[in-house]
Amino acid sequence: MTEPAPEGEETDPAAVPLVGPFEAPLETPLEALRDEPESWPVHAREDISRGDAPFAVRRDLVSAPGVEERFWRVVVEHPGAVVVLAVDEEERVLVLRQYRQPAGMRFVELPAGLLDQPGEDPLRAARRELLEEAGLVADDWTHLNTIHSSPGISDELVEVYLARGLRHVPDRGGFQPEHEEADMTAHWVPVTDLLAAVLARQVTDGPLLAAVLTYVLGRPGP
């Protein structure tokens, strides 16, 4: 357990654990509420699936620091992705309706896509996806948030951007939609309506939820 600081001395918030093993949850200052890099020993690594797809699946033989027990963990390697919350002068958001085979649903989503390769500038990818999927370019870009979409199994990192100062352009950079994207439709939705749909659980796409809530909660008050 964490020992209390001597009387008259302040405790470093960074040194306060969120929850220790078998301990009651602690009152935690805001400064301690942050994700931190950490690496456990990996004793072996085996590919399960690796080919032409943008994803690969492997398993790692891991142990906790200072512990002899070893265990396997499956990891989905992901190149990374971007999501764009495009908001016009009337406070409307550009959303897409697209069918997704794994979930068996047509989702309300935001323009989004994979990085072309690991290490690609996410803002460049965001500009590309907004152009290809919505036929829009934006003058103003703001980084809204960063999401680890499913850290228990994947290293996917999603960067979320706000795009404003929108303009329609006729040339989508040679992009030719096919398959699900050829069936995709675009719609303008007021921010207030999209927030209401999020809170009513009518839309459930994770990156859309993160983008909308970050934007609404982060806006200056009236």
pTM, two decimal places? 0.82
In a domain, 104, yes or no: yes
The Cα 204–Cα 60 span in angstroms is 31
> Is residue 123 located within the same domain as residue 50?
no
Domain that residue 103 falls in: 81-218
> Is residue 73 located within the same domain as residue 89?
no
> Is residue 108 located within the same domain as residue 154?
yes
Last residue of a domain, one of 77, 101, 132: 77
In a domain, 1, yes or no: no
Q: Are 59 and 153 in contact (CB under 8 A)?
A: no
> Is residue 166 located within the same domain as residue 73?
no
> Is residue 105 located within the same domain as residue 164?
yes
pLDDT in tens, 72-115: 999 999 999 999 999 999 999 999 999 998 999 999 999 999 99
The Cα 37–Cα 81 span in angstroms is 20
> Is residue 122 located within the same domain as residue 173?
yes
H/E stretch holding 192 = helix 191-199
What Å distances lie between residue 17 and 33, 37, 151, CA to CA? 10, 15, 20
> Is residue 190 located within the same domain as residue 125?
yes
Last residue of a domain, one of 77, 104, 131: 77
Angle subtended at Cα 134 by Cα 129 and Cα 137, rounded to the nearest 5 degrees:
70
Reduce the DSSP state of residue 107 to 3 states and report it. strand
Return the bridge partners of 94, or none: 188
Return the bridge partners of 157, or none: 148
Q: What is the pLDDT along the chain (222 residues), one digit of tens a residue?
A: 445 545 555 555 555 555 555 567 778 788 888 888 999 999 999 999 998 888 899 999 999 999 999 999 999 999 999 999 999 999 999 999 999 989 999 999 999 999 987 678 999 999 999 999 999 999 999 999 999 989 999 989 999 999 999 999 987 777 777 787 777 899 999 999 999 999 999 999 999 999 999 999 987 655
Residues forming the active site: 181
In a domain, 28, yes or no: no
> Is residue 153 located within the same domain as residue 208?
yes
> Is residue 90 located within the same domain as residue 163?
yes
> Is residue 59 located within the same domain as residue 168?
no
> Number of C-alpha atoms within 13 angstroms, CB side, residue 180?
11
Residue 96 sits in a domain whose CATH number is 3.90.79.10
Q: Are 87 and 93 in contact (CB under 8 A)?
A: yes
> Is residue 70 located within the same domain as residue 133?
no
Q: Are 161 and 123 in contact (CB under 8 A)?
A: yes
The Cα 60–Cα 46 span in angstroms is 7
The Cα 41–Cα 6 span in angstroms is 35
> Is residue 69 located within the same domain as residue 108?
no
The Cα 142–Cα 134 span in angstroms is 18
**Count of domains in the chain?**
2
Q: Hey, how many other C-beta atoms are within 10 angstroms of the C-beta on 133? A: 24
